Structures are given as structure tokens and as C-alpha cells.
Structure 1
Amino acid sequence: MGQRASVSGFDFFTAGELPAPALPADEVVRLVREHWGIDVDLEPLGSQQDQNFLARTPDGDPVGVVKITNPAFTADEVDAQDHAASLIAAAWPDLRIATTGRGADGTPRAVVAATGEGPLMLRLLEFLPGGTLHGPGHLSPAVVARMGDLAGRASVALADLDHVGLDRVLQWDLRHAHRVVDLLAPFHPDATKRALVEDAAARAWADLDAIADELPQQAVHLDLTDDNVVCRVDRGIRTPDGMIDFGDVTRTWAVAELAITISSVLHHAGADPVSVLPAVRAFHALRPLSTAEIRALWPLVVLRGAVLVVSGEHQVQIDGGANDYAASGVEREWRIFEQATSVPTAVMTAVLAEALGVAPAEVGAGAPHATTTRLAAEPAIGPDRAVRLDVSITSDAVDAGAWLDPDLEERLAAAALDGGAAVAWLERATPRLTASRPLAAEPAATVPTGIDAWFATTTHLSADGDARLVVEGADGVTILDGTVPARTRARIRLEAGDGPHVPHLVRPGFATGWLALTEDPARALGLTGDDADTADRTTAERDAADLVARRDRTYAEVQEHYYEAPPRIERGWREHLVGTDGRVYLDMVNNVTPLGHGHPGLAAAVAQQLRTLNTNSRFNYGAVVEFAERLAGVAPDPLDTVFLVNSGSEATDLAIRVALAATGRRDVVSVLEAYHGWTYASDAVSTSTADNPNALASRPDWVHPVDAPNPFRGRHRGADAARYAPEAAERIRELAASGRPPAAFIAETFYGNAGGIPLPDDYLAEVYAAVREAGGLAIADEVQAGYGRLGNWFWGFEQQGVVPDVIAVAKAAGNGYPLGAVITTREIAARFRTQGYFFSSTGGSPASSVAGLTVLDAFRDEGLQRNAAETGAHLKGRLEALAERHPLIGAVHGLGLYLGVEFVRDRATLEPATEETAAICDRLLELGVIMQPTGDHQNVLKVKPPLVVARESADFFVAMLDRVLSEGW
């Protein structure tokens, strides 16, 4: 890669120091008035080598950006910048591009002015509102993808640009990165950092040397970073939709455009190398990368980081500390470099290739998975005496939280050896649940790059082939002679002979790259067949995106799933859910499972019943009688009779039908903004527009909604919420007076669908009295609030000091097993007989009845209701403290473990922060927390975790929510 002898424009290597212009603001004000007849106030903007001001009218309206170009740059170079901006604007009319503004006569607002520092080029560029991505805040995958899209658009638009002003040598042109580092590194004040930068730059440059001639060149923006993409802000969400600062436009490697863009992602909160993949995919979709460009991309990112570090420190020194922009960037630039070098280039190249559908071997990242090395064991071991251990998330061995036992693998190995195995081993590439831990903001290193083996007798290992054999003890210390003591863990890897050292466990996001640098020791030892290939399991068998695609092909679209790109969940334990890559998530939304996931007692009881009998409830067996007795026993007098069904929708549907039959009427009063189910009757009384946008327009004429008794954002707020009850009672009396007395009034006993909001005091007492006075029944929908979730009460209606005529309950009753119930009086139930027989095939089956009994036993024995009260109070207090520091939190609703965190853009107007809430949930998922929005405005976090949730889990949730609200989403 030779250097040109001369260039027509600026040449960094002959220019010497390049201090930025430093005109006084009052002089710039005078120049703007003199040349363009505009009176402005100026606000300094940052720049590494130019001088920029935001110009406003005296009234504060933006006029544009005054850019004072460094005098080292020629007029041709400035013209090339303007030409490039115009080309992109013409190619992509939907983008906002900061072109040079024009006066009323159409002439460009650009001039060479006489200044105190000599002749300087001044331009008044168009001001693009909305701000940039400047700062350390978190960038969502969607924003990162949009950055790659913008870089791709610039690359496409500038592909054919040819201009004399492109003939320049910039320190930011990565074709010259090694020279920049060599020149400026000696100025870095930290010898340790200086050595790291020099070493990384040398290795990256060596990687580029072999392919440089294969890299296409063209005009590029060269600075499409987070600081130079502007955003529109729509309903609280930033979306990059434009670009500014064309000062670095030049001709260089086309792929450098993308490398510079993605490097700027790396300093943001929560970012790591795999965070850039959405941008790479988006760029590739517009402007496909060649194999050589994929190989070059990460070395260029490393070089960009190195150039930023040495250039930033150098600029601070030559500006004598006066350049705050350069000084403030030093820490940011070091983080970019640290992240760029946090994994070897070969690993990231393989990860990038896989993300673009290219085999890592095609870009020279590692070798094919076929084993080329043979391992010899002395004494020899045959596959018939080898026992493969399994601690993946689907293994029975990790049931009941066994994966949290640090000795589990050792116990499994000892049992296998005691049973006569010559070797017990754990396979390569399959994520190990034992390597993960709950309550972690970052994914754990769960994917093994080699095998773990325990030999029955002392065994010597040797390798024949190209790979490097690594044998380590459990402590990670290398066993130099390859001799493994009997019954002792050995970590065995076959690493690429010329490659970097490989960790034994790696994070799933990087697994493709690390596995490409290894071979499978199990195959090399003959422990598996020649056709075995574990290297692809993390990206093929367990690919969550592929599973979603399969689901979409066969599952009705209306049956939605959480998240746009959900992880694949195949295991749960207590308040935790586990992805197939071993990532453990805190489940803060799953009120279906009060006992928690994977409850051993429930699993054992239901399994035993399924082994003996499971049939319909018309047969005479004990479980259904015992469960009905127990359920009636937890209901208040006079409710003593039970119907059993399969779900909450069926329970509320049946409750309505019972009321209609018992009263001989057809009208029902319900509450707005409520959800009761999906069956005909339960849907008819549901008015939540979040669940059904047409809910209010599609109610049948027999349903009569009353105002949502929401004291936070309803028609009556605060103390005025006491008006909801008399208004609802009056509506019931009006119906009765008009000849349509209601059969029933149905309501959630705790306003759950709106976000866990308690009903106003005495609301149910007054409304129940009114409906009963009219001869109707009071139906309590306890599907969500029932079963101790409120903490101090087993039933939600107890908080209101009332007893309904009919209870509908489900969800918690079976801990996820299909089970729902209606509880009423013997008299009311008897009246339903006028409708004929009632029968639910699996409602009240032996297995579901046993599940119901086991849940009630757990409530009695495991203190779930007490935990709901105590942990719920602690959690609510922590969330209320959070609201004091984050104005986006408008209120924290609820009691016990039935809470809602409501987000608003303005605490006075209560404008719902709908889009922000969805984005917050997505960011929480990245940090290991499952959370979803609720309410008609979808702006409330529905905090309804399993009732076993521990205080430390509640604290982790609050910490992660605090992090999201602080760092952004």
C-alpha cells in the first residue's frame, strides 16, 4: 500500500500542526451581519479542527450553523463537500442534509472573509433540528440499524462522485491510519495506553495489507458518526434521518464509511462489538459488502479507534487545552478503542460474516468445522465407555434449580464414573445453563469452545495435526504435559495453531467467532461419530428468529408474541426464565405462575396424576371433590358452590351466563377500559381498546359500560374519584327505570388492565348495593387480583370490604396449568340448571384438580401471600423513590405484587408516553428483565411477577429500570 508522492489538496503529513480557528464570537457576529445582513446570537458547537457556531435570531429561532473552515483546506475541497451534500440530498429526498444555505437571491451563503486570523472561509449551513446522537446514552438496535442505513445511502449516492477536491490526505482516512498512529502516538502521555494502541494498530494494519488491493475506493462522507447524524423525534423516540458535517469528504476505501459509523456506536452505554451488527446488516442491504470488505471491516474499526485515541490527545495538546470538544472526547475515544480490541479481529470477522449469511471460512476467519487433528489418549478410550453429560437448558439434570448448584457438574461426572464410565464429558458448543446466573445485566459466557472431561484413571493426551492442544485444570491453569489426574476435571480445547488464545467459555453473541477458531476435541478423541457437528447448534438448532418464522407460518397471526425479536425461552425456575443460549431473565410480568416456574411439587403431583388417571369431570374421582371443597373453603360465606373450567375467559363467560340465568335478564353493566376475556360473553363486556381497538364501537346492546374509576387519569381524579361510584349506581337505576334492569354488574376488583390501580374507597360497596337493589348480581372478576396477589388480602374484593355474588377466578389457580373456576351460592348455581347441563371436558379433570390443590397447598405452606405483601411493599417503595428522580414516571400504582409504573411525557397533562414504554421494555429485555406494557395507552409497566419473587430480584428490577431511565432506550 504505497503512498502518493503529492496531492492537490490538504496533506496532513506535510501540514504540521492543525490548530482549529478560534475567532471571538463577537467578530463572527459582525462577519455574519456584514456578509449576509443577518443579526444573530451565537452558541459554540464542538469541532476537532474547524470552528462552529449555532446562529439564532435575537428571538432565539435557529438561523443555521456558521462553519469557519480550517485555513489549511482549499476552496476545491470545500466545493467537493458542498457537492457531496447536494448529491446525497438529491438521491435520497427523504433525508435531511445540511447543505450550504442560500440567500434570498439564491446565492450560496459562503464567503472568504478577512478576519483577525487572516482570510477564512465562512459558510452558513442549514440548521437541522432534532439534535444528534451525541453523548454516552444507549442506542437501541433500531437506531444502530438506521445509522448503518444512512451510511449505506451515502455510499450509494457518492459512488460515482469525481471531484478535484477529493484529492487530499486526511488523518481520518484509514488508508493512512498506520502513518497517523506512528506520527502521533509519541505524543500520548500514558505509556501503557500508547503501547496498546501501537500494538493493536500494527496487527490491524497487517491484517489489511493482504487484501488492500481488493478494496474498492470511492468518495465517502468519512464522518457519519453519532455526532453527525441528526434525528427526528417522534412521540419520544429518536430516529436518525439526516446528516451534517461534510468536512471530511474524500476518496478512500468504500468500506471505511461503515467502519467509521459503527466505531462510533462502541462508546455508548451498554454497547459492545456485537451491538454494531444491526448497522452492518442495514448497510449491506443497501450496498452489499464484498468478501474482502467483510475481512477488512473490523481491522478498520480497530484502526479508527487507534487514530481517535492518538489524534484526540494530540489535538488537546496543540490547542493548549482551549479545545473543550477535543478534551471531552478523550475518554469516549479510549472506550471505542477498548471495545474494538476487546475481542480478536478473527472472532469479530467470523461474527460479521455469519450475520451477513457468509460462512466464516469464506472470509478467512477460522477453519471449517471438520476435524483435522487427532487426539490420542493413553490409556485409550472407546466411545462405548464414554458418557456424555448434559447441562443444557433442556436437560433433566438441571431441573428444580439444580443448575444453581456449583457442584452439579462434578456430581454428575462422579456418578457416571462410579457407574463404570471410562470418561464423562461435557460437549463443545452447546450452551451450559450451569455457567449462567440469574440477575445479571449482561449475558454470561455459557458457550464452551472445547469439552470438559473427567477420566476414570490418570490419562495422557497428545495431539497430531495442525491445531494447538490446550489442556487446563478446573482453575484454568494449563496442564503442560497433557497428563490429567484421575477423576479430575480437564478443560480440553483444540485451537487454531496460528490463532489467538481462546477462552473456554464465551458469550453466545461471540460464539460463532470463537468456535470458528477451534476444532471439536470430542470428535478428535473418537467420542462422537464423524457426522457429529456441534459447532452450529447455537445458530441453527436454537435460532430464535427461525422459530418465530416457523410460528408465523403455522400459528394464527392474531395470537401475538411478546417482543418483535423475542428470545427463545425453553425453561423457567421460580421468577426466572431461561433462553436457549443460557441467558437468564427475571420474569416481572408473569402473574400466571404465582408459585414460580418449574415448581417441583406441582410438577410431581400433576405427573403422578397423569400416570394414573386423567379424564373428564363426569367420572367419580376424589381430586375434583377435594379441590372444589378447598376452593369453596377460601371463599367467604355464603359462596359455597364451584364450577370448574379451563381459563379466565371461560370463567368470566360462565359467570355472566349464570347471572343471566339466575335473574332471567339480558343486560349487563361493565366498566370501561377493562378486559375480561376472549369468549363471546367475556369479550362483550371487555372495553379495553388496547386489546381491541374497536371495543367501544362493537359492544352489543345488552352491555352498558360505566366510566373507568381511574383516580389518576380518569374523568374524576384525586379526591373527586369518589364521584365514580354514585354515577355508576345512578346509571344502574336509570337502566332499571327504563325497563332494562341489569342482570349483573361485572368489574375487576382491582383495576388491573389499566395498570394495577386500586378502585376508589367504597366503590364496589355502593355499586354492588345498587345492582342488588335492582335485582341483579355482583360479579367479581378475580382472574388477576385473586389468590393473594394484593398481599394483605386473598381476594381483591376484600380490599373493598365487600362480598360478591359470583367470583370468576383463573390464572393463579393452576400455576399455568389450564384451570379456572366460578364460585357462587348454592341457590344461584341451582338456577343455572334451567339452561340444561353444564359440562367442561377438562375443566376439573383429575390433573387440573390436582394442580389446583397443589397451588392451594403452596399458598398455605410457602408464605406466598406474605411475600406478596412484604416484597410488594418494598418494591413499591423503591419504585416511588425512582419516580422522584425520573420525571417520565407519572405514578406508581398498586398494592402487593400487583403494581403499575405509569409513564407520561408531562405530569401536568398526563400525555401518555406510549412509544417510550415499548422502548423501555425492549431495553429491559437486553438487561435481563421480562416486562410488558398495559393500559389503553400501553404506557404502564404491568409489574405482576410470580409471588415467589425475592427481594433481591425486586431490587435488580428497580436497578435495571433506573439504568434504562438514566442511559436511555
Structure 2
Amino acid sequence: MNAHRRTVGFNFLSEPELPAPRVSEAQAERILVEQYGIEARAASLGSQQDKNFLVTAGDGTVVGVLKVANSAFNATELTAQDLAADVIAAAEPGLRVSVPLPNLSGEKLTAVQGLLDGTAYVRLLRHLSGGTLLESGYLAPAAVAGLGEVAGRVSRALAGFTHPGLDRVLQWDLRYGADVVAALLSHVPDAALRDSIDAAAREAWSRISALADRLPRQAVHLDLTDANVVVSRDGASVVADGVIDFGDLTDTWAVSELAITASSVLGHPGSGPISVLPAIRAFNGIRPLSRDEAAAVWPMLVLRTAVLIVSGAQQATLDPDNAYITEQADEERRMFDQATSVPIDVMTAVILADLGFDVASAPVRGALLAPGAAPVATLDLGVLSDAYDDGRWQSADVDDEIACAALQNRPGIVISEYGVPRLSQAGKLSQDSPDVVPTGVTLWSSSEAGLQAPWGGEVVHASADEITLRGVDHEITLTGAQVSAALGAIHAGQELARTAARQPVRVSVRPTGAPVAPPYVSAELAPGWLALTGDPRPLLGLPVAAPAAEPDLLARRDASFAAVQEHYYRRPPQIERGWRNYLLSTAGRCYLDMVNNVTVLGHAHPRVADTAERQLRKLNTNSRFNYEVVVEFSERLAATLPDPLDTVFLVNSGSEASDLALRLAMAATGRGDVVAVREAYHGWTYGTDAVSTSIADNPNALATRPEWVHTVESPNSFRGKYRGPDAVRYAEDAVRQIEELIASGRPPAAFICESVYGNAGGMALPDGYLQQVYAAVRAGGGLAISDEVQVGYGRLGEWFWGFQQQDAVPDIVSVAKSTGNGYPLGAVITSRAVAERFRSQGYFFSSTGGSPLSCAIGITVLDVLREEGLQGNASRVGGYLKRRLVELQDRHPLIGTVHGIGLYLGVEMVRDRQTLEPATAETAAICDRMLELGVVIQPTGDHQNILKTKPPLCIDTDGADFYVDTLDRVLSEGW
């Protein structure tokens, strides 16, 4: 690049010092009066090279931003910027653009004499409300995509714009980035950082210069960062829709727009190299990138971060009192560290693959095994491998054990898969995506075997147990073998090393000169690293592993599965394995499960699995046959309840259980009216849906209740009609309504209520509530139904059943979820007298509810609950967890309160602790962010603003700490 040529506009490399204009707020206010006829307050804003002021009228209305241009910039350049703003505003009417407002003479560019040395150019720019993303903390993928979308729209709009004022040499123009770093590097005081910047800039420029001639140029804003893209806000949601500050407008590579936009993402907490992908996708969707442009993005991004640091260091020496510069230093250093944390070629391959470009590496050829070697077989060490059942994936030596077991059955050689996530590497309780994808293969041999050079070349590294052979096209490294060869030239077929019997040897291959890949990499970076490695399988006589098909599982689901059956999360991981309080995805990520109250014992409990297998090998039929297990389970279940609850009905689900409970009450009383509590959910059958009033599950719930359902006020002591000590009045009101029903000649058959208020996030009912309401309904001849579907089975810790917390005894109990630990099993328990009255409805049975299989599982669940002390664990860990959450509430005002008892908790989010405005959007965003950090949590409640915290009862304090620490991080960094 001819960086020192004569230009129409500014040339930084000829005039590399640009201290910001020294203009006071008083001077700015005089300019407003004299040039614009505006009397307003001018407050200084941060800027590196110009001087900006926020202009506010006396009534607090923001008028605009007064911008005093650096004296180095001339009128031609500034006019080009104003015209470009007009072009974008016309081409993209959906974008808000900060265009200049006219002065008293009708001009957009105002020349002011005597303010600086010579003429000062001033503009009053339209203010765009909403602010920017600069101070937003963590940027969610949607916000990052919004930045990329704005950059794409601006790039599209400016594609045909030309003007003499674009002829400039700016320090931010990446065509001159290497020159800028070289010129300013000495200003960086830290010698180690200087060396890192110099090396990174040189490497980045080597990649860019190789592509330069194939990169199209056009007018570019060049500063569409988090500081210059304005957003509209709706609660926690932001939409990028505005553009400000055209001061860096120039003619340069079009893809620079994207690289500079994406670089700003890396300054935010919680971001990493992969975080920029939504911006790149969004930009590409609007202004498609060529392969060369896509390949240039990451090296340009690296160079941009280097330029920022050296420029900031220089500016700090020129303008040491400029707080804006020093405030940006930490963010810019973070950007550089993140940009250089992954090799340029790796991230380039990640970007290319993400955009659909082919990045497959060239196949390797040769033979690592001598002719006549033992046969080679492939081990399945993926997430779905049966060898990892019963939690074996957690064992440090599990892969060796699996390999040795395979060799015991079939002598020879076994190898692991290349590029397939290996479950044994999936660590628990980590906020970082784990390194699980192997970049090579591991080989085990049943006996000692020789490994030969697959091609001629040079041994460039040799130690006792590791050797690297470099050939013309590829190099190979063997780790864990007994090295035979020495440094120097070697011919194909010559022995490199020998394997010891049953000892692992890692085989990795890469193109000659490529960076050495870690043994395992994250699923997100895997496309990049695998593009820079080779599949060693052909060297072992096996075909190249076919790339794993990645069908759109959600699309398939939508095509065959009714869409009303919703799924968690907009972009959910594919979960195919669970263990205790963990869920594991096909990408090898281990998530802490904080919502699965169905699997009360924990996922994949081996005793439940063994029980199911044994019973299925013997008998599975329906309860009309005579077999012992249905009797034993019924006896065991009834024994957990107080008198007179001694008679059991078995069904398939909680909906069926509560539906049957309603039918029992109607049959026993001969009545059809039911009293239910508002904001509650009981199920999906006709009967349970009729008494469900949660608007979160059905927005029309209250308006569509059948006439036989009568609702009483939700006993919500936090945000309801009565709060705190006044919450006892909920019972009084409910009793009054029941008495009025009785007096009107419509005495209810039943009152149905969750014994702990589940839809409110596990909120305990006001003291004495159930006692008083049960007494009122019984006084009228009705029955009390306790819905224990979610809360029963020891989840409260101190009490096995929720109604025990209220010191009340219902007439009918419905239960499910926990009863089968995920197997479909529910029950209704009542008195013998009530059960007998049901004969008036005819015969009843449930095909699988009382089957031998369901009953055997039900017995096992009760056994494990007792033997593993899970009810006590719920009390201990639940109490610990709630204390930690309450401590978190003291630091984060978004937490309005923490509901619940034991492991039946809810964290309610509010925007204001006085008004209790629900933080609905924030809660949804927090759940998405928690998923990124390894926690499965979901919103609940009518306002969907409560974190439903109901994990399996086997969770320990480490899991509780991880949940709270992750939530603390999210609430601190943003979501």
C-alpha cells in the first residue's frame, strides 16, 4: 500500500499525532447559542480524537450531540460523512441514522473561527435515543447478531457511494494496520505485550496481504462497534437499529466493516472467539461474503485489536488527561487477548465452516502398520456408547478399561474415533464448553506392535515416548509409544516406535507446518481444528470417517410432532444421556439439571434400570391379572400416608391422577361443582384443565372456565392481594366463598389445591390455609384434594408430603412425576369409603398404571428414596441452597424474593422491588445465558419471571454452589 501518498483528506502516517481538541463545556454552549440559536447544557462525552458534547435542553430533553472535529480533518471529508449518512437513511429506512441538524444559516457543517488554531468545524448531530451496547456487559447472541445485521445493512447501502472525501489514510483502515502497529508499537510500555502485538500483527498481515488483491473495496463506515450502533430497548430486549459517528468513513476493503464490528464483541465479559459468529452470519445474510472475504475476517479482527492497543497507548501519551482513553484500555486488552487465544487459521476455518464453505483437509496416505499386522477395529467412545452407562463416563481410566475389555474378546488393535466427542472428557460443573472432540485417534494393541513411518521425511522430535515425523505434505506425532527412531532423515516403512500391550498411543496427523492441535478441543472450535488436522484412520487400513450427519432435529420434530408440545429454549442442545443431576448433550457438554423434578432419584438410576430390565424379562400386563407387585406397591404407598388414606388407584400420569381425584370427589358426593385456586396448574385432561387457571399455560384460562369451576384468590403472599402478615386473610376469603356457594345451593364436591404453591415457584401457603379451607368444604359435605404431583415424595425435606407442612390431612391425594422416576406412573390415594363410592361410575383400571413394570419401578423408587436418604438430602442441600440464594438477593436487586422449602424453590425476578413489576424478558434471557454456562433452568409462574428450581433430590452442595455461582455471574455480567 502506498501509505504516504498525497490524499484529499487526512493521512495518519504522515501526521500521526491527533490529540483531541481542547474545547470547554462553556465554549460548546456558546457555539450552540451563536450558531444554532439553542440555549442548552453541553456535557462532555468521551472521544479519542474529536470533542463531543451531549446537548440537553432545560426540560431535560436531549437535543443532540455537538461534535467539534479534530483540526486535522477538512471540510471535504466531513461533507462526505454527512452525505453518507443521508445515503444510508434513504436506502435503509428501518435504520435510525444520526444526521447533522442545520445551523441558523441552514448549513449542516459550521465553520467556527477562533475556537482552535484556525478553523474549527462543528456539527450538531441528531440524537438517537436508546443508548448503545458499550456498557451492556455480556452480549447475548441476538445482540451480537443485531450488530452484524446493522453492519451488513450499512455496507449494502454504501456499496455505490463515492466522494473525494473518502480519499484518506486513517489509522483505523486495516489496509494500513501493519504500518500503524509498526509506527506506534514503541508507545506500549509493557515489553512482553509489545512482543505479542508485534507477532500477532505480522501473522495477521501475512494472511491479509495474501488475499488483498481479491478483496472488493467500497465506502465503509469503519467504526460500527458496540459504541456506535444504537439500540431500541424493551425491558431486557434490545434491537440494534441506529448508526452514529461517521468520523472514520473511508474507502477500503468492504469486509473491514464486519471485522471491526465483530472485534468489539470481544471486549465484553463472557465473550470468546466463538461469540462473534452470530454477527458474521447476520452480516453474510444481508451482504454475502466471498470465500476470500470470509477468510480475511479473523486476521483483520486480530489486526484491529493490535491497532487499538498501540493507538490507545500513543493517545495516552498525547492526551494524558483524556479519561475516555484510559477507560477503554482494559476492554481493548481483553479484545486482543481473546482474538489471539486461538490460532488465526483455526478461527478462519471455524468461520468458513459456519458460513457453509468446505474446509475439509486433504486425506493422508501411507501405512502406519507393517504388512500383516493384526486387524484393527473401532471403539465407540461417543456420548451414546453403552460402555458409559451407570455413570462410568466419569472414571479417569474408563477408555482404557473399555479398550482392554474389547481386546480381551478380540485380540488385535482397537482405535478410538476421530473428531467424535468423547464422553469421558466431559467434565462436570464447568461454565466453559469442555474440550471433548479428539483431533487424533488413540490406539491400543493386545500385544506389542511396531509402528512404521507412513512416508519418508525427517524426524524432527524424539523423546522416550513421543516422536514427530515431518513429510512433504503431512507430519505425524505418536505419543505414548516406545520410540525407536532417532532425529534425522527416515524412509517410508522404517520403524518409528513400538506399542506396549494394552497401553494407549495417541496418533495425530496435520498438514506440514500447521499448528499443533491440542489432543481435545471444544465442539465449537472443532470445525477449525479438524480442518487443520488429518484423520489417521487410512494409515491404519480403515476408510476416512464419514462426517457425522447433522440433520435439523428441530425441523424433523416440527414435521412429525405436534408443535403445541413445546420444547425448552430457542436453540436447545440435543440431550441424549443423563446421570444423577446431570444432562449430557451429543456435543459432549455436561449440564447441571435444576428443573427435573420428575427424576426424583436422579437420571438413569441403575437400580431403576435393573428393575425395569428384570421385570420386562418376566411379565408386563395390566392390573386385572393377579400378581404380587401391584399389591406390594399399593401397600407401600399407602403406608406413607396418614389415616384414613389407605386405598390406592394407579394411573399413568399426574394429569390422570388429578382428573381421577376430581371424579372420585364427584362420585362420592354426588355433586358437580369444584373450587380451585387461581394461578394453578393441575394437568391437561378435560377435568384437570378445567380447574387449571394458570395463564402461563393457557392465556385464556380464567375466561374459559366451565360453569362448574369456582376459583378463589391465589394465596400469593409476595405479590398477591394480601402480603406478609396479611396473607392469612386468603383463607378467610376462600372460606367465605365456599360458604356462599353452599348457601346458594351449589355446595362443592371438592376443593383442589397444590399443598405448596408450585406455579408461584414453590411458595408455601399461608399458615393454617389448608386447615381452614378443608374445614369449610367438609362442612358443606365436600372433599379436600391435595395435588402432590410436583411437591410430594420428600422434596420438601422435612415432610414427605406437602400437606404435612400445613398440618392438614386431605381426603384425596394425587401424585405422579416422582413415583416412577421418569417412568409414567401416578397414583390417587383416598379412604376406603370414598373409593367404594366410585363404583357408581362403573369399572376402573389403567392399562399400564398398575402394570407389573410400573409397580416394580414404584417400589424401587421408594426403596432408593429411603436407602439413599434423599429426603434428608433435600432438607440439607435445599436449606443450604436457599441460604445462598437469599445471600445473592442482597447483592442483586433483580431478585425480588426466594420462595420455597427443601428442593422446591423459586427465584422470583422483578424490575422494581416496590412495584414488583415482573422481569419476564430478563428471566427468559437469564435462562438462555445459564444454559450457555452449563445450567438447565427454566421460568415458571403466571408472569414467567420465576426460576423454577426443582432439581433431582440427589443434588449435592457442589451442584448447589455451581447453580448459585453461575446465577451470580449472569446477574453480574449481564444476559
Which residue number in structure 1 is paired with residue 299 of structure 2?
Answer: 299
Aligned length: 950
CA deviation vs aligned residue, 1:369-390 (integer Å, no higher than 9, x gap): xx2322322475343xx34333
What secondary structure is seen at the aligned counterpart in 2 of 1:585? strand
User: Structure 1: which amino acid aligns with 2:697?
Assistant: D
Distance 1:89 1:468, change over 3 A: same
Which residue number in structure 2 is paired with residue 457 of structure 1?
Answer: 448
Query: What pairs with 1:732-743 in structure 2 (closer than 5 Å)?
Result: 732-743=738-749
What secondary structure is seen at the aligned counterpart in 2 of 1:376? coil
CA distance in 2, matches of 1:477, 1:851: 57
Q: Aligned to 1:501, which of 491, 502, 516?
A: 516
Normalised by the length of structure 2, the TM-score is 0.95
Distance 1:200 1:903, change over 3 A: same
Instruction: Say whether residues 1:430 and 2:415 are aligned partners.
Output: no
CA deviation vs aligned residue, 1:651-679 (integer Å, no higher than 9, x gap): 00000011111111000000000000000
Instruction: Say whether residues 1:341 and 2:340 are aligned partners.
Output: yes
More divergent stretch after superposition (469-478 vs 924-933): 469-478
Q: Aligned to 2:365, which of 348, 354, 373?
A: 373
Which residue number in structure 1 is paired with residue 461 of structure 2?
Answer: none
CA displacement at 1:41 relative to structure 2 = 2.2
Q: Aligned to 1:469, which of 476, 480, 492?
A: 476
Which residue number in structure 1 is paired with residue 690 of structure 2?
Answer: 684
Instruction: Say whether residues 1:392 and 2:382 are aligned partners.
Output: yes
Query: What pairs with 1:405-804 in structure 2 (closer than 5 Å)?
Result: 405-455=395-445, 456-464=447-455, 466-473=473-480, 481-526=496-541, 528=542, 530=543, 532-534=544-546, 536-537=547-548, 540-541=549-550, 546-804=552-810
CA displacement at 1:571 relative to structure 2 = 0.4
Distance 1:938 1:549, change over 3 A: same
Which residue number in structure 1 is paired with residue 322 of structure 2?
Answer: 323
CA distance in 1, matches of 2:305, 2:627: 72
CA distance in 2, matches of 1:477, 1:909: 76
CA distance in 2, matches of 1:140, 1:308: 24
CA distance in 2, matches of 1:178, 1:375: 44
Check the 8 A contact 2:482/2:498 in 1, yes or no: no
CA distance in 2, matches of 1:403, 1:862: 22
CA deviation vs aligned residue, 1:755-792 (integer Å, no higher than 9, x gap): 11110000000000000000000000000110011111
CA distance in 1, matches of 2:827, 2:106: 76
User: Structure 2: which amino acid aligns with 1:394?
Assistant: L
Check the 8 A contact 1:605/1:850 in 2, yes or no: yes
Structure 1 portions without partners, runs of 5+: 362-366
RMSD: 1.8
Which residue number in structure 1 is paired with residue 201 of structure 2?
Answer: 201
CA deviation vs aligned residue, 1:909-940 (integer Å, no higher than 9, x gap): 11000000000000000000000000000000
Check the 8 A contact 1:36/1:109 in 2, yes or no: no
Which residue number in structure 1 is paired with residue 467 of structure 2?
Answer: none
CA displacement at 1:107 relative to structure 2 = 4.3
Check the 8 A contact 1:792/1:896 in 2, yes or no: yes
Which residue number in structure 1 is paired with residue 190 of structure 2?
Answer: 190
CA displacement at 1:207 relative to structure 2 = 1.3
Distance 1:73 1:756, change over 3 A: same
What secondary structure is seen at the aligned counterpart in 2 of 1:463? coil
More divergent stretch after superposition (704-713 vs 40-49): 40-49
CA distance in 2, matches of 1:479, 1:447: 31
Instruction: Say whether residues 1:856 and 2:862 are aligned partners.
Output: yes
Check the 8 A contact 1:459/1:486 in 2, yes or no: no
CA distance in 1, matches of 2:486, 2:407: 22
What secondary structure is seen at the aligned counterpart in 1 of 2:242? strand
CA displacement at 1:130 relative to structure 2 = 1.6
Distance 1:548 1:164, change over 3 A: same
Check the 8 A contact 1:754/1:934 in 2, yes or no: yes
Normalised by the length of structure 1, the TM-score is 0.96
Check the 8 A contact 2:37/2:104 in 1, yes or no: no
Q: Aligned to 1:932, which of 915, 919, 938?
A: 938
Check the 8 A contact 2:481/2:499 in 1, yes or no: no
What secondary structure is seen at the aligned counterpart in 2 of 1:906? coil
User: Structure 2: which amino acid aligns with 1:451?
Assistant: V
Which residue number in structure 2 is paired with residue 142 of structure 1?
Answer: 142
Q: Aligned to 1:956, which of 936, 952, 962?
A: 962
Structure 2 portions without partners, runs of 5+: 456-470, 488-495
More divergent stretch after superposition (797-806 vs 191-200): 191-200
CA deviation vs aligned residue, 1:803-829 (integer Å, no higher than 9, x gap): 000000000010000000000011100
Check the 8 A contact 2:35/2:103 in 1, yes or no: no
CA distance in 2, matches of 1:849, 1:944: 25
Instruction: Say whether residues 1:908 and 2:914 are aligned partners.
Output: yes
Instruction: Say whether residues 1:273 and 2:273 are aligned partners.
Output: yes
What secondary structure is seen at the aligned counterpart in 1 of 2:122? strand
Distance 1:477 1:462, change over 3 A: closer
User: Structure 2: which amino acid aligns with 1:836?
Assistant: G
CA distance in 1, matches of 2:233, 2:486: 57
Query: What pairs with 1:815-854 in structure 2 (closer than 5 Å)?
Result: 815-854=821-860
CA deviation vs aligned residue, 1:528-559 (integer Å, no higher than 9, x gap): 3x3x424x22xx34x6xx11111011110100
CA displacement at 1:57 relative to structure 2 = 2.3
Which residue number in structure 2 is paired with residue 63 of structure 1?
Answer: 63
CA distance in 2, matches of 1:236, 1:405: 42
What secondary structure is seen at the aligned counterpart in 1 of 2:453? strand
Distance 1:632 1:106, change over 3 A: farther
Which residue number in structure 2 is paired with residue 364 of structure 1?
Answer: none
What secondary structure is seen at the aligned counterpart in 1 of 2:947? strand
User: Structure 2: which amino acid aligns with 1:324?
Assistant: A
CA distance in 2, matches of 1:482, 1:44: 69
CA displacement at 1:890 relative to structure 2 = 0.6
User: Structure 1: which amino acid aligns with 2:967?
Assistant: L
Distance 1:683 1:506, change over 3 A: same
CA distance in 1, matches of 2:933, 2:200: 30
CA distance in 1, matches of 2:6, 2:831: 97
CA distance in 2, matches of 1:208, 1:332: 25
Distance 1:693 1:193, change over 3 A: same
CA displacement at 1:420 relative to structure 2 = 4.8
CA displacement at 1:416 relative to structure 2 = 3.1
Which residue number in structure 1 is paired with residue 458 of structure 2?
Answer: none
CA displacement at 1:458 relative to structure 2 = 4.3
Check the 8 A contact 1:792/1:865 in 2, yes or no: yes
More divergent stretch after superposition (275-284 vs 486-495): 486-495
Distance 1:398 1:477, change over 3 A: farther
Check the 8 A contact 2:421/2:437 in 1, yes or no: yes
CA distance in 1, matches of 2:625, 2:905: 41
CA displacement at 1:523 relative to structure 2 = 2.4
Which residue number in structure 2 is paired with residue 890 of structure 1?
Answer: 896
Check the 8 A contact 1:316/1:327 in 2, yes or no: yes
CA distance in 1, matches of 2:216, 2:622: 71
CA distance in 2, matches of 1:726, 1:674: 19
Check the 8 A contact 2:650/2:828 in 1, yes or no: yes
CA deviation vs aligned residue, 1:70-108 (integer Å, no higher than 9, x gap): 000010111111111111112222222111123588543
Check the 8 A contact 1:52/1:68 in 2, yes or no: yes
User: Structure 1: which amino acid aligns with 2:612?
Assistant: V
Check the 8 A contact 1:471/1:479 in 2, yes or no: no
What secondary structure is seen at the aligned counterpart in 2 of 1:211? helix
CA distance in 2, matches of 1:230, 1:324: 22
